[in-house]
Structure formats: C-alpha cells, structure tokens
Structure 1
Amino acid sequence: MNQAFGRTLVPAFDPYANSINFLLACYVIPYVGLTGLVGATPTLQNETYKSIVAGILGVEAGEDAVFRALLFERRNILVSPYAVTVAEFTNRISDLRNRLGREGIKDEGVVVPPSEGAEGKVSGNVLSADKYSLSYPRSIEEILRIIYGGNASVPGAFFPRGANGRLAQSYSLAT
C-alpha cells in the first residue's frame, strides 16, 4: 500500500483491521493472476492444460467481480485513518500495477472517468476490461514485475525469495 501511495502510510495499512481493509487487500493480487491467465491461454498447446486454465480463469474472474462489486458499493467510504475513499485506494493500487507492469493500461480501479467506462458513458467499473469489453492480458514478464515490485528477474515485494514455479525460475535465469 505504501508503494501505491508513494509514501509510508501512518499507521501502517493493516489488512485485518476491518472489513474494508480486508477487501482492499484482497483486491491487490487476484486480478494480476487473472490477467496472467488471459495472457497465457493463447500459448497453450495441450487440450488438458487449456481446459484447466479455462476452469481456473472462470473462478478468478468470478472472484475478482465479487471483490470489485463489494468495493464499488463502498466506493465513497473513507478508509480510516487515511481519509481516502475506497475508490481512490483501488485507483492507486491499479495505477501501481500498471506502472510495475510497464505495458500500458491493463488495470483500472472501481471508478473511472465516464469516457473510459462501458460504452464511454459509465463511471462504475465492476468488470475491468478493454474498450472491447475483453479482459486484459499480461505476459509472464509483466506478472513477475508486478509481484516482485518492479523487476521481473529480482525477487521482492510479495515474493522476497522469488517464485518457485518453473516459469518464474526459467525467466529469472534467462534474463
């Protein structure tokens, strides 16, 4: 949360302090996984893997929609003690993920300017999607930059010891 705000939050953000904080914490990572699955799907050759990924993607999309809907309902509530709305928190988290991913806009908070919303008319943004209403894809490199805090080959942030999956390890070795 500090990185999303560009400063140290005082007191430190506690995801367990209340239900709003918990929802905001839940918003931080799952969407990154969803965009990674969208990005990976076209590269899959094996039908079994395609089926598994499709099943996981369905669950991830549903999970993200629930978190986003709950946060959207609370969009104007001030997050205590920071005096920042829930909508602003989601915007800052999404902006951070876009900055870390370094591949343009692939993430949006739960409120956007109407020109960026559905059909260029709606500011509510429960489903984050591109102008064609399709989920944004992210590459392995983008995902690693986000979960490592900026550098795809240097562990940090959510994985200070690095991810132990084959793709993450092979990418780190290749770069």
Structure 2
Amino acid sequence: MDNAFGKPLVPPFDPYANSLNFIIASYVIPYVGLTGYVGANRLLSATSRELVPPYGVAVEEFTNRISILRSKLGIRGLKDEGIIVPTGLGAEGRVKGNILAGDVNSLAYSRTPEERLRIIYGSGDEHVRGGFYPKGESGHIAQSYLK
C-alpha cells in the first residue's frame, strides 16, 4: 500500500487489521488474476485439452466440474461457467473462450454474501463452515451467519 500511495502510510497498512482493510487489500489479487487470464486467453484452447496427471482428465473438464459445483453450492442458478462454453453463451454470443463468467451482455454474474459463503465453505449452507475456511470466516457478515 505504501507503493500505491508513493509514501509510507502511518500507521503501516495492515490488511488483517479489520474487514475493510482486508477488502481493500484483496483488490490486488483478483484483477491481477483476471488480467493475466485475459492475457493468456489465446493459450486457453490448447491448455484446456491438456490432461492433468495422474487423473487423465482434461483441464477443461476439471474447470467445468468446478463451475457446476460452485453453481450447485450457491443454490441460486447458473452463475459460473468453465473455460470453454458454447459460442452462444460466450461474450455477446460470439466467442467460446471464457475468461469471466457473465451473462449475454458480458456482465459478470453477482453473488450474494450467502451464495459466496455456501461456495467457499463447500457446504452449500452459509451457516456451516468448512472448505477453505474450516473455522469459518472472521468478518462481520460471515460471522453473522455462524451465530
């Protein structure tokens, strides 16, 4: 954060100090991942066919199955797609390479806090912790569902 402001912040920025700081700090990762994914788009078709050892399953199938699971756990319909989608479902109905799951207007699907918790907990229930957060998330919103 010091680099973002061009000077040391006083007190030093702590991404774990509170929920707001964590959200601000988390802005760094998704956009880097997304733009890196977009930059690698031309490679996705070839990569999607590669087999993941030792399973003998293609990257595309892993991605599709994870996407199906996230939609199932979220319980609010299709809000996820794999790497390759039918052309009609791709951006503006014209492409089949998929960088960011979105609707026919290329607008990203939104997820409620409940949907997000159902997915990251892996339980399909925002009240049941697990998955990436076996002890549950510590933020105010997440904790409100665990009480």
Compute the TM-score of the two structures, normalised by the length of structure 2. Answer: 0.72
Aligned pair partner of 1:64 in 12, 34, 40: 34
- Retained in 2: the 8 A contact 1:111–1:123? yes
Counterpart position of 1:138 = 111
Q: Does the CA-based 8 Å contact 2:91-2:105 persist in structure 1?
A: no
Structure with the higher fraction of residues in helix conformation: 1
* 1:167 is the counterpart of 2:137: no
**Structure 2 residue matching 1:152: 3-state secondary structure:** coil
Cα deviation per residue 1:56-85 (whole Å; 9 max; x = unaligned)? 557523413424747725111111111111
Residue identity in the other structure for 1:165: G
Structure number with greater Rg is 2
Paired amino acid for 2:47:
R
Distance 1:85-1:91 versus aligned 2 partners, 3 A rule: same
**CA shift in 2, pair 1:94/1:65, >3 Å:** farther
Moved beyond 3 Å, runs of 4+: 55-59, 67-71
Give the alignment of 1:112-151 within 5 angstroms: 112-149=85-122, 150-151=124-125
Match of residue 130 from structure 2: 156
Give unmatched runs, 5+ long, in structure 1: 1-48
2:84 and 2:96 in contact (8 A); partners too: yes
Q: Distance in 2 between matches of 1:66 and 1:91?
A: 20
How far, CA to CA, are the matches of 2:56 and 2:109 in structure 1?
31
Q: 1:58 to 1:136 in 2, by over 3 A?
A: farther
Residue 144 of structure 2 aligns with an amino acid whose one-letter code is S
One-letter identity of the residue aligned with 1:125: N
2: distance between equivalents of 1:61 and 1:167?
A: 23
Identical pairs, percent: 48
After TM superposition, the score normalised by the length of structure 1 is: 0.61
**d(CA) in 2 for partners of 1:56 and 1:163?**
14
* Matching of residues 86-101 of structure 1 within 5 Å: 86-101=59-74
When structure 1 is superposed on structure 2, of 136-145 and 113-122 the one drifting more is 113-122
